[in-house]
Amino acid sequence: MSEQATTDPYRHYVNGEWTDGHGSETFDSENPATGEPLATFHRGTEADVDAALEAAEDAFEEWRELSHIDRAEYLWDIYHELRERHDELGEIITKECGKEISEGKADVAEAWHMVEWAAGNARHPHGDVVPSEIGSKDAYMRRKPRGVIGCITPWNFPVAIPFWHMAIALVEGNTVVWKPAEQTPWCGQIIAEMFEDAGIPDGVFNMVQGFGDAGAAISEDERVDTVLFTGSAEVGHEIASKVGGEPGKLAACEMGGKNGIVITENADLDIAVHSAVMSSFKTTGQRCVSSERLIVHTDVYDEFKDRYVEIAEKVAVDDPLEEDTFMGPAIEPEHVEKIQKHNDLARQEGAEVLVDRFELDDDEIPDGHEDGNWVGPFVYEIEYDSDLRCLKEECFGPHVALLEYDGDIERALEIHNDTPYGLAGAIISEDYRQINYFRDHAELGLAYANLPCIGAEVHLPFGGVKKSGNGYPSAREAIEAVTERTAWTLNN
Ligand code: NAD
């Protein structure tokens, strides 16, 4: 972290300066595996957001005049730094958000992949030249930056997701005001230091630390041309509904899911069990693509259940900094309570509980980590019924329903699609016709066949349908949200 860090709280980064801001409140970042405070940060206010937006607006005119290649130069510096500091940053991510160290490092790798993709695109300009309907004219499409982009990001990919948004926005000529998640301000601090070290011109990149009120001050301000949001559906839809009414303003929201894996009668059960275990328990179920519903054909249901439950009974939580840890803690005590509420709801709705390790035994918790936010798997079976809330609401934890189905792939898809969400899902099947049916009919943005429902590739659009997204996927497609097109016709 920067040298300013002694006992003073960390600051906001606005207009090329570190600033205490206008508020008097501070907040701590905590290690979810130990409960220990990591560092203290100034809490951003509306006045801090106002200063950051003013800086971003002032910087826009000069920044947009640079070529894509010149703008990308700053990001190449950051790309190299991310690579050089891979292990160190992975460890910081793990300390601050509790994900296993392998996942912490993967978060850094995903960030540099995104920066590489966005900066590399500067050398690969794209556009459309199309014939005019009138022979003597030429026509083409040109993209322009939209202006000031407000970025609001979640805690669970605290380095990768900010770069999904900011790298493309900046290379395309926009300026940025970013609010990191309140649970992961340390990661925010480090990213801001990287932009400072890269020498990005004052006001082009700004960061205000804080909570939802600072996020709302960004998203609701008329100077923001696009809001790039990733987080819960609750917040995303609030942002989209407010922004949607404002002419010329756009909100691209990537939200949660109630993801399902369909396991058909001919599935390879080794693949099915591996896929389900990875997707439902890795990162303690706290990925937007984690599966909370396993939809299993009756012919293989009992065998799958026995094998899955055997593992769910055994998967261990451990110190996330240890290389071979499979599951770390939940992010914060409030989230542990939320997971418990989802488990209780399933019970109230008639779940047959197969594994209840929500409250782990003392000897399951790693030594010296007694104050961490530990939870274990909760697995239940329940007869599918469209009215069950437990099959529709995202828990965002190791909370999994087993649903037995009898019938064809159409029946499996009826169950699969019966949630308000449409983010990610997988099919495990040896029959290509079933896989094709899933491909064509599953309501989602990210699909996997015979693979864990997990992971992302930056050159593919990352987004969902229904309640999970509003039509502007992240990564490759984010260019749509940070540029506007002008159709040109020229007289020859
Ligand atoms: P969250 O919605 O609580 O917070 C996300 C961000 O929004 C934070 O920075 C928060 O401070 C800010 N915020 C809160 N209230 C706000 C408001 N009223 N106006 C503006 N900003 C506000 O989400 P979280 O708990 O950080 O993340 C978990 C959620 O994110 C899960 O639902 C998960 O599925 C989803 N997620 C989705 C994706 C995706 O790509 N689809 C990726 C990761 C996480």
pLDDT, residue 4, reads 42
Are the beta carbons of 188 and 205 closer than 8 angstroms? Answer: no
Question: H-helix or E-strand containing 419?
Answer: none
CA-closest candidate to residue 150, choices 221, 208, 228, 204: 228
> What is the greatest pairwise CA distance in the chain?
80
pLDDT in tens, 125-141: 777 888 888 888 889 99
Query: Of the residues 81, 96, 182, 254, which is catalytic?
Result: 254
For 150-162, give the DSSP string: EEE--SSSTTHHH
pLDDT, residue 7, reads 62
Query: Of the residues 151, 288, 395, 453, which is catalytic?
Result: 288
pLDDT, residue 5, reads 44
Which amino acid residue places its CA nearest to atom 10 of ligand 1? 212
pLDDT, residue 491, reads 87
The amino acid at residue 315 is V
Are the beta carbons of 321 and 95 closer than 8 angstroms? Answer: yes
Helices (H), 66-134: 68-84, 86-97, 101-121
CA of 255 to the centre of ligand 1 (A): 7
Query: DSSP code of 435?
Result: H
pLDDT, residue 3, reads 42
CA of 388 to the centre of ligand 1 (A): 25
Angle at 162 between CA 159 and CA 166, to 5 degrees: 135
Minimum-distance ligand 1 atom for the alpha carbon of 469: 41
pLDDT in tens, 162-201: 999 999 999 999 999 999 999 999 999 999 999 999 999 9
pLDDT, residue 350, reads 98
Residue 266: other Cβ atoms inside 10 A: 13
Q: Residue 254 catalytic? A: yes
Q: Compute the distance between CA of residue 31 and CA of residue 184 in angstroms, rounded to an integer.
A: 10
Q: What are phi and psi of 124, to 5 degrees?
A: -135, 60
Which amino acid residue places its CA nearest to atom 3 of ligand 1? 232
The whole-number average pLDDT for the span 380-400 is 98
Q: Is the ipTM of this complex over 0.90?
A: yes
pLDDT, residue 249, reads 93
CA-closest candidate to residue 420, choices 447, 441, 443: 443
CA-closest candidate to residue 174, choices 332, 56, 315, 348: 56
Query: DSSP code of 77?
Result: H
Q: Residue 97 catalytic? A: no
Q: Which residues line ligand 1 (CB under 6 A)?
A: 152-157, 179, 181-182, 211-212, 215-216, 219, 230-232, 235, 238-239, 254-257, 288, 394, 396, 423, 462, 464, 474
Are the beta carbons of 342 and 399 closer than 8 angstroms? Answer: yes
pTM above 0.80, yes or no: yes
The whole-number average pLDDT for the span 231-252 is 92
Which residues are registered as beta bridge partners of 167? none
